[in-house]
Amino acid sequence: MDLIIRDLGQQPYEPTYERMQRFTDARTAETPDELWVLEHPPVFTQGQAGKDEHLLMPGDIPVVKINRGGQVTYHGPGQLVIYPMLDLRRLSYGVRDLVNLIEHSLIHTLADFGLDAYAKPDAPGVYLDQVMYKGHRVDGAKIAALGLRIRNGRSMHGLSFNLDMDLTPFDRINPCGYAGLPVTQLCDVCPDVTVADARAHLIDHLVERLGHTSLETRQGWS
How many whole angstroms separate alpha carbon 87 and alpha carbon 85? 7
Q: Is 176 a catalytic residue?
A: yes
List residues forming the annotated binding site for substrate. Answer: 68-75, 145-147, 158-160
Strands 214-219 and 126-128, bridge-based pairing:
unpaired
Looking at residue 152, what DSSP letter applies?
Answer: T
How many whole angstroms separate alpha carbon 157 and alpha carbon 121? 19
How many whole angstroms separate alpha carbon 130 and alpha carbon 133? 9
Give me the catalytic one of 141, 176, 183, 193. 176
Looking at residue 64, what DSSP letter applies?
Answer: E
Catalytic sites, residue numbers? 176
